[in-house]
Structure 1
Amino acid sequence: MTTAQRPIGSGFDASSTTRNVLGSTDLTGRIAIVTGANSGLGLQTALALGSAGAHVVVLDRDTTRARSALAGISAEYATMDLSDPASVDAVAEEFVASDRPVHILVESAGIMAAPLGRDTRGNELQLSINYLGHFQLAARLWPALRAAGSARVVSLTSLGHRHSPVMFDDPNFEHRAYDPWAGYGQSKTAMSLFAVELDRRGQEYGVRAFAAHPGSIVATGLKQYLTTEQLVAAGMVNPDGDPILDPSKQLKTPEQGAATPVWCATSPQLAGMGGVYCEDCDIAEIVQPAGSDTTDLGDFNDLNGVLPYAVDPQQAERLWELSEKLTNVRFL
């Protein structure tokens, strides 16, 4: 059953934290896999799930940093590079061979506004790391997700999806000029569409999927390709480089940013639901494009809602087919 893309009145808001949305939730006996958990959103997500009793499996390029940050929770670690298909396959195959279920999969790792790069298959690097690597990971973990009986997959999307739809005729910038924000936006639109189609295909097996927009969190590794001047112009930091925190403007702490993916992964309010784009710990509304140029961070006047193309079922199915072609991975 398709879930309506409209708020459900969760009772939470932009300032809610992971602690708020978890409440007394007990995840004892649950296994949660989190990518990109050495800092920022992934770290806060892993900490929250682990603090609620889940056994957390961290997949990250820097497991040493993750181990230090996550000391004190039940966790295990595996080194994985989302841009390397062999690395993704090896990690997933090792987990599936352990004959354990995956109850929660949070696909959090990513890069933003990176210069042009390509993976070993020739795919543009932001599309590869933010989306295609996660598509392949979920595909390889599919037996373990099904074995859970009731599982949730949370893909990290962004307000940045407004920078670009998926450009099906040239997803890898082979015939058009490269723009870092267009590449980022396309990858985040893809993450949203992935949740739509995965949920449609997976719900008969008890696997539900959600796309989560965490907000703009400066205290993460995503800012590595941005200058202080760009962040100041976007209203994200002051001239001294200090983060400006205002949840009403999607400027959040990592704990507030991680609240939405954690809510998607655990909330009983979402029982029987899926395939929706969520923000501020609720299902978002669909909004219409303003018609202005969206190649600059400062162009976003309405900071809430999802554009129609990022939750369109036909585009989601089309993306699924393209993803299988670009990764050479058959899913479901």
Structure 2
Amino acid sequence: MTTTQQHPLGSGFGAASTAEEVIKGVDLTGKVAIVTGGYSGIGLETARVLHGAGARIVVPARDVERARKALEVIPGAEVEHMDLLDPASIDAFTEKFLGSGRPLHLLVNNAGIMATPLARDARGYEAQFAANHLGHFQLTTRLWPALVAAKGARVVVLSSRGIRFAGVDFDDLQFEHRKYEPFVAYGQSKTANALFAVEADRRGQAEGIRAFAVHPGLIIDTGLVKHLDPAVLQAAGALDSEGKPVRDPERQLKTVQQGAATSVWCATSPQLDGLGGVYCENVDISPLVTPENEAAWYAGENTPGVLPYAVHPEAAARLWEVSERLTA
């Protein structure tokens, strides 16, 4: 299988582009889209914009009543129970969807948790790795027959610039031997998300399935940052002195509408036809971080790019095999 090069296309969009702007001219009539976390933040905006282009929206949710209320803005949106930390609920959701006989054209693995205190799921797996990666891995692989049936499906996986905090530690995935650090665990899970897109694309492209990883930007008016001290966000320049979000898309400080743009572009843009297995940001394919610009990349948010270890094909293949074992 050919591998798409990890360098920008020159999409014509940028950091300030919104989801509404990038989907103009795209018709999704008759298409089915599943969006995890599709009832708040950038997930809700992603679902809303996909629906506006004609897609039928399905949102798996841990809190069904909350999701139904939020999704009143999307007529006909379907809500089903699913908890990414509960493997049985993932199986139940996927069995019901597969039982409907519908193809799945778009799968947006958007839900996630960030920098949480140490917690474990019922299997003993560290919660950020379990929710952000393993739960979505199980969801995607169980839904594989419906993705194949679409005869041209896309899987979009939300990663993050949090890849900077850690690669995947195959020797201690669950923090059984090393000290637990919330951001290291988050970084490991986001690197896993990026690697998952690489291998899902390699395995799926012969059957018409292409996969993309996305860095949406830092959107702080969502629930994702609820475990972060506001003082930390102020020190990072993400909150002003009054505690209000700072908007500066060139520094990745985005609105929800801007934050959903790259996900929507990866899910729908004809510019990406025949491509996949790449990490994207600011509505384009990201360049690789090189030794020459590595210091600038770590120093600030203005330098786009993905660290090579987050798109390494051998690590991606190894992670897939490990994930298969962990999810039985």
Which bracket does the TM-score occupy, shorter chain normalised? over 0.9
| Counterpart selection for 2:274 from 255, 267, 272 | 272
2:203 paired with 1:201: yes
Q: CA RMSD in A?
A: 1.5
Residue 187 to residue 26, structure 1, CA distance change in 2 (3 Å):
same
| Counterpart selection for 2:91 from 80, 89, 114 | 89
Paired residues of 2:252 and 2:301 also in contact (CA < 8 A)? no
Residue 158 to residue 79, structure 1, CA distance change in 2 (3 Å):
same
- Length-normalised TM-score, structure 2: 0.96
2:316 paired with 1:320: no
1:168-317 to structure 2, matched below 5 A, reads 168-288=170-290, 300=300, 303-317=303-317
Range 131-140 or range 62-71, more displaced? 62-71
Paired residues of 1:154 and 1:265 also in contact (CA < 8 A)? yes
Whole-angstrom distance in 1 between the partners of 2:303 and 2:108: 24
Whole-angstrom distance in 1 between the partners of 2:301 and 2:256: 23
1:63 deviates by 2.7
Whole-angstrom distance in 2 between the partners of 1:152 and 1:286: 22
1:68 deviates by 2.4
2:15 paired with 1:34: no
Give aligned-pair identity as a percent.
Answer: 58
Paired residues of 1:212 and 1:277 also in contact (CA < 8 A)? yes
Query: Residue in 2 aligned with 1:137?
Result: 139
Query: Residue in 1 aligned with 2:69?
Result: 68
Query: Residue in 1 aligned with 2:155?
Result: 153
Whole-angstrom distance in 1 between the partners of 2:106 and 2:279: 17
1:64 deviates by 2.2
Whole-angstrom distance in 1 between the partners of 2:299 and 2:179: 21
Alpha-carbon displacement from aligned partner over 1:158-213 (angstroms, at most 9, x marks no partner): 00011100001001100000000000000000000000000000000000000011
Unaligned 5+ segments in structure 2 are none
Residue type at the aligned position of 1:313: P
Whole-angstrom distance in 1 between the partners of 2:256 and 2:303: 18
| Counterpart selection for 2:130 from 125, 128, 131 | 128
1:325 deviates by 1.6
- Length-normalised TM-score, structure 1: 0.95
Paired residues of 1:38 and 1:63 also in contact (CA < 8 A)? no
1:234 deviates by 1.5
Paired residues of 2:151 and 2:207 also in contact (CA < 8 A)? yes
1:302 deviates by 5.2
Unaligned 5+ segments in structure 1 are none
Residue 174 to residue 200, structure 1, CA distance change in 2 (3 Å):
same
- Partner SS for 2:204: helix
1:61 deviates by 1.3
Whole-angstrom distance in 2 between the partners of 1:301 and 1:47: 28
Whole-angstrom distance in 2 between the partners of 1:33 and 1:261: 13
Q: How many residues align?
A: 324
Whole-angstrom distance in 2 between the partners of 1:59 and 1:288: 38
Whole-angstrom distance in 1 between the partners of 2:301 and 2:157: 25
Whole-angstrom distance in 1 between the partners of 2:132 and 2:251: 24
Query: Residue in 2 aligned with 1:104?
Result: 106
- Partner SS for 2:280: strand
